[in-house]
Chains A and B, each alone.
Chain A
Amino acid sequence: MRAADVLGAEVLGPDGVRLGKVLDIRLVQDGPMLGADCALRIEGFVVGKRWLASHLGYDRANVNGPALVNAVVQRLSADNRFLSWDDVAQLAPGRVEARVSQLGPVPTLVDGQIKT
């Protein structure tokens, strides 16, 4: 499976309701050993609608300047949600099925650590 198969994929709830698109893939480096270090494994998906506003880091990483850009981009990406891997029922190219219909907020990333 390639990232291109998942990025932009439609995310569907248990009743087939659309929850948004996969905007990004959250990875944590504690997967199986690969070479000298652990592999990057999928922790979950950032789900939402607005592509560009969600690839700048304002919504979920510690990028916050300039204030005006921050405010506008935050607003545009305010309805982004997080789908944890544990809540994924099925993964197919272009399509992710979730076990839940309510998704939580996107946990913030600061210096490579997830803040809750």
Chain B
Amino acid sequence: MTGRALDLTLHLLDRQVLDQDGGMVCNVDDVEFLVPDDGAPPYITTLLTGPAALAPRLGGLLGRWVLSAYQLLGERHDKEPDRIPYELVTDIAASVKVSRTRAEMGVHPGEDRARQYFVDRIPGARHESS
């Protein structure tokens, strides 16, 4: 992909991240740049995800509202987004692919909590529905 050009909001932001098996991991809610001291152009080091990454992009009241809705659901309070190092990205197209499994990514505390306290307690949660 070296040399390829793309526009951040057109081609990367808000896209679905898929793991190596095609499982849905999260959306690209924001990205983090490293700004070199020598004036060289900043580059993307990390994809950010989760309510703490999405809220600033929604801005203002809407952002705060989404954040507090998440906290109501028991999301972490520290307002730090979950992070995916850019090194893991293998493809940027209609979705963004990463070279790990969903379980290894560790970027969805909300999903884990929903599973642990809710879905896993209902009979049949661990079976394919076929």
Please indicate the chain B residues that have their CB under 8 angstroms from the CB of A91 in the complex.
Answer: 35, 42
B87 at interface by CB-CB < 8 Å: yes
Residues of the A chain whose Cβ atoms lie less than 8 Å from the Cβ of B22: none
Residues from chain B with a CB closer than 8 A to the CB of A55 are: 9-10
Number of A positions contacting B (CB below 8 A)? 36
Contact of A25 with B7 in the complex, beta carbons under 8 Å: yes
Asked if A69 CB lies within 8 Å of chain B CBs, one says no
Q: How many B residues have CB within 8 A of the partner chain?
A: 32
Instruction: Find out whether the CB atom of A30 lies under 8 angstroms from the CB atom of B3.
Output: yes
The distance in angstroms between the C-alpha atoms of A7 and B48, with both chains bound, is 15
Interface pair B6/A2, CB less than 8 Å apart? no
Could you tell me if A114 and B43 are in contact, using CB atoms closer than 8 angstroms? no
Instruction: Confirm or deny: B107 has a beta carbon within 8 angstroms of a beta carbon on chain A.
Output: no
For residue A32, CB closer than 8 A to chain B, the reply is yes
Residues in B whose Cβ lies below 8 Å from that of A60: 7, 10
Q: State whether A29 touches B3 (Cβ < 8 A).
A: yes
A-B pairs with the 8 shortest C-beta distances? A35-B87, A31-B43, A39-B43, A41-B43, A25-B8, A112-B4, A41-B41, A4-B56
Q: With contacts A4-B30, A34-B43, A57-B10 known, what are 7 further pairs, Cβ within 8 A?
A: A24-B9, A26-B7, A27-B7, A41-B41, A109-B6, A109-B7, A112-B4
